[in-house]
Chain A
Amino acid sequence: MGKATKELSGKSKEKYFRELLRAHGGIEPGEAKRLERVLFDEVRHIRVRWPVPERGKGARVVGAAGPSAAEAPAASAFDPNAFSLVVVLRTDGREGLLAKLGQIGSAEHLRAIAKAQHVAVDPALTDRAAIEAAILAGTERRIANRQAAAS
């Protein structure tokens, strides 16, 4: 990951974990504290994306070994799995997901996210807003499918 990552240890590592857990709204405070303790004790060094991306859904902790060479994007490469469409939709709602998609650089990258996360987007769509809307609809279907399977 080259220049896009940074090694953390000691207090900077603990601060990173603390902020990361706080940014994940789904974790109860008591559980977050416990996870903090486990992470402080078990992880001596970590390599993280740097600068820190928008906290919460996009933040990624990369283990000491990092992703496999086959999956590791180059420093400037686009990572279509940098965040989960489903997680963003469920935690930040439709507006949150559209805002997140709005930050994506190009229509090709939007399509790459949809493909990587198994969300169908009509290849005939060319308008960026239409692609974003299709991703939103596809993500909603994905959630509905999972709920249906468990009922």
Chain B
Amino acid sequence: MAAFIAVANRKGGVGKSTISVLLAHAFAVWGGKRVLVLDLDSQCNASYILQGGEGWLAAKKAHTTIADYFLDTFDEAAAPPRDYLVHNVGDVRTARNTRPALSLLPGSLLLEDVQGELYVKEARQSKDPDVVGQRVRGRLERMLRRFELSYDIVILDCAPGLSFAALAALKTADLVVVPFRPDYVSQLAVDRVALLIEGKRTGADLAEVPMGARRYVCLPNAMRDSGRERNIMEEIALDHPMLASSLPQSPAIADAFDFRDDLRAIEEKYGDATPAVRALYDEIASKLVLKLAA
């Protein structure tokens, strides 16, 4: 049974796709796990990082993107989910010089449109918008879960903002990683996404949920170790569970965003940021074990 990790924040530009891919590489290479990335962001960045533009275009032409998957199988049709997956993606290799067990359900520029279509489809069954919304989200949750028997880790790279797919991902996830950049607006964004994840309306409601019982953890990204950044991090940590790990502002991580058509060691890909990536992987892996045990 797969463990589901969502990487989410309603704010854009905080590194969700980079971190989704980074965790996918880490779990597949260092953890030896069978990993699937579901690209739920219509920017398709995770797809570009993992298979390059040409690979993504091939999936688009073959109608095997996440939007196609949602549209084709929404009515519980028999199309096997595996038909939509691309295997052996990414540009890192294992220690044995083989491709890691890393698969991708590529993103689609049309994901928002398709969600609108699904809403209209479901609206034929009910006139209550809340009921329709819940049903669409529920169906998407079931569709995300259809991969749980074939993988050890499923990573859900969420779009910024709210969508049925993002809500379904947050509901499905065993652990939600909330990356943020240490600035004022990111601080507000963490507060808001936390309410969404825990299903609370106000900060006071959220405060009643013990830190250890929350389904999310915050990850400081692009840290430059300035006093101001540390202050913002401390302020966020008063209200939200914070990972001990953080990712530094690093050209190596920025460059990792580029797909390269040759396999290399994960340590080569992440360069001098590798110790930080490794520490993050170790911490997330141990958190996941605790969450699943609970």
State the A residues within 8 Å of B (CB): 26, 28, 30-31, 35, 38-39, 42, 57, 60, 62-63, 65-68, 71, 79-84, 86-87, 90-91, 116-118, 146-147, 149-151
Contacts and interface: CB of A to CB of B under 8 A. Distances in A.
Given A146-B191, A151-B203, A67 B227 contact: yes
Given A26-B237, A62-B225, A149 B231 contact: no
A82 B212 contact: no
B279 interface: yes
Nearest to A63: B225
Interface string B192-235: 10010000011100000011100000000000111110111011
Contacts, number: 73
Most A CB within 10 A of own CB, among B184, B212, B235: B235
B238 A42 contact: no
B227 A90 contact: no
A81 B212 contact: no
The 6 residue pairs across chains A and B that have the minimum distance between CB atoms = A81-B227, A150-B191, A84-B231, A149-B188, A38-B244, A71-B226
A150 B227 contact: no
B283 interface: yes
B187 interface: yes
A81 B226 contact: yes
A interface majority secondary structure: loop
18 contacts: A31-B212, A60-B230, A62-B225, A65-B225, A67-B227, A81-B231, A84-B232, A84-B234, A84-B235, A86-B235, A87-B234, A116-B227, A116-B228, A146-B191, A147-B203, A149-B188, A149-B192, A150-B191
A151 to B, nearest CB: 5
A68 B227 contact: no
Most B CB within 10 A of own CB, among A42, A86, A150: A150
Most A CB within 10 A of own CB, among B191, B201, B211, B234: B234
A39 B245 CA distance: 10
A42 B227 contact: no
Nearest to A150: B191
A3 B151 CA distance: 54
Nearest to A82: B227
Contacts of A35: 244
A57 B227 CA distance: 12
B225 A117 contact: no
A39 B244 contact: yes
Contacts of B202: 150-151
B244 A150 contact: no
B202 to A, nearest CB: 5
A31 B213 CA distance: 12
Nearest to A35: B244
Nearest to B276: A42
Given A30-B212, A38-B283, A146-B188, A68 B225 contact: yes
A11 to B, nearest CB: 20
Contacts of B228: 81, 116-117
B68 to A, nearest CB: 36
Given A81-B226, A81-B230, 12 more contacts: A30-B212, A31-B212, A38-B279, A42-B279, A65-B225, A67-B226, A71-B226, A84-B234, A90-B238, A116-B227, A149-B191, A150-B195
A118 B228 CA distance: 10
B192 A79 contact: no
B224 A150 contact: no
Contacts of B235: 84, 86-87
